[in-house]
Chains A and B, each alone.
With several copies, the nearest count.
Chain A
Amino acid sequence: MAIKKFMYLNRKASYGTVYAIESLEVVLIAAAFEQDVSLAFVDDGVYQIVEGQNTDGIGMKNFSKTYHALGDYDINKLYVSAESLEERGLTEADLMPLVYEDEDDDWAEKPSIKVVSNADLTKIMSEQDVCLSF
């Protein structure tokens, strides 16, 4: 089967709506299909991967730890909009340290998150075959 480039476009914060968690569920399933998977975090979507989420006070499940599992499924292209971060007073240091082990480089641990400009994101998006929005 031909390999397609899939982009998962995440533009909403977690918890306020269900899209973040249900998007993550799709991505985990997608891993089994061995397609080329990219995730984009744009606008309030960047809050999905902010470090230190604690849902004890709102009675909802904290699924943020699950993003750490993405690396184990060879999903390691997490593009974060630099402009979206900056507009929100966030930096890469505020995000979870998501990593993967690079099998082509003696399983060295490498960061999965790539902070990119909107111009870069434009280019990345224009190469996609399928874009799933949530």
Chain B
Amino acid sequence: MLHTVNKSSFERNSLQSCLNIIDDTSVILLIEDGVISAANNANSSMLAELATQGRVYALQGDVEARGISSKVADNIKLVDYAGFVDLVVEHGTAVSWV
């Protein structure tokens, strides 16, 4: 599955809720204000663990819009909208943590 999270983990609980329920094979894509959680200092060790496993993506356009490109953790993969489409195609059911 592909889980999308579109809000900052500082503001809302949606990333945490996603992490509480995500299974061992699914991936997470951070979009919109969700990319704030991709910055180095984002406060979830579980997200960091998933990133180490190569299972965390972030929308590059949203990262750049917020001026935090240099802050994104190295093992979070940046994708453009075409990459977003590929993730939807490859990972089956899409779950939005809106």
Instruction: Assess whether A52 is in contact with B13, with CB atoms less than 8 Å apart.
Output: no
Instruction: Assess whether B62 is in contact with A15, with CB atoms less than 8 Å apart.
Output: yes
Total A-B residue pairs with C-beta atoms closer than 8 Å?
110
Residues of A within 8 A of B14 (CB): 11
Instruction: Assess whether B41 is in contact with A133, with CB atoms less than 8 Å apart.
Output: no
Residues of chain B at interface, number, CB under 8 A: 39
Given contact pairs A57-B80, A89-B40, A133 touches B98 in the complex (Cβ within 8 A): yes
Given contact pairs A44-B36, A129-B93, A131-B93, A122 touches B23 in the complex (Cβ within 8 A): yes
Please tell me if A30 contacts chain B, counting CB pairs below 8 Å: no
Question: Beta-carbon contacts of A108-128 to B below 8 Å, as 1s and 0s?
Answer: 000000000010011101101
Q: What separation, in Å, do the CA atoms of A51 and B39 have in the docked complex?
A: 15
Is chain A's interface secondary structure helix, strand, loop, or mixed overall?
loop
Residues of A within 8 A of B50 (CB): none
Please tell me if A105 contacts chain B, counting CB pairs below 8 Å: no
Partner of A44, one of B11, B23, B40, B62: B11
Q: What separation, in Å, do the CA atoms of A53 and B5 have in the docked complex?
A: 21
Instruction: Assess whether B96 is in contact with A87, with CB atoms less than 8 Å apart.
Output: no
Instruction: Assess whether A57 is in contact with B61, with CB atoms less than 8 Å apart.
Output: yes
Instruction: Assess whether A128 is in contact with B93, with CB atoms less than 8 Å apart.
Output: yes
Instruction: Assess whether B39 is in contact with A55, with CB atoms less than 8 Å apart.
Output: no
Residues of A within 8 A of B33 (CB): 12-13, 15-17, 44
Chain A positions 85-113 with a Cβ under 8 Å from a chain B Cβ = 87-90, 94
Please tell me if B89 contacts chain A, counting CB pairs below 8 Å: no
How far, in Å, is A65 (CB) from chain B's closest CB? Answer: 12
Interface centre among B32, B65, B97 (most CB of A within 10 A): B65
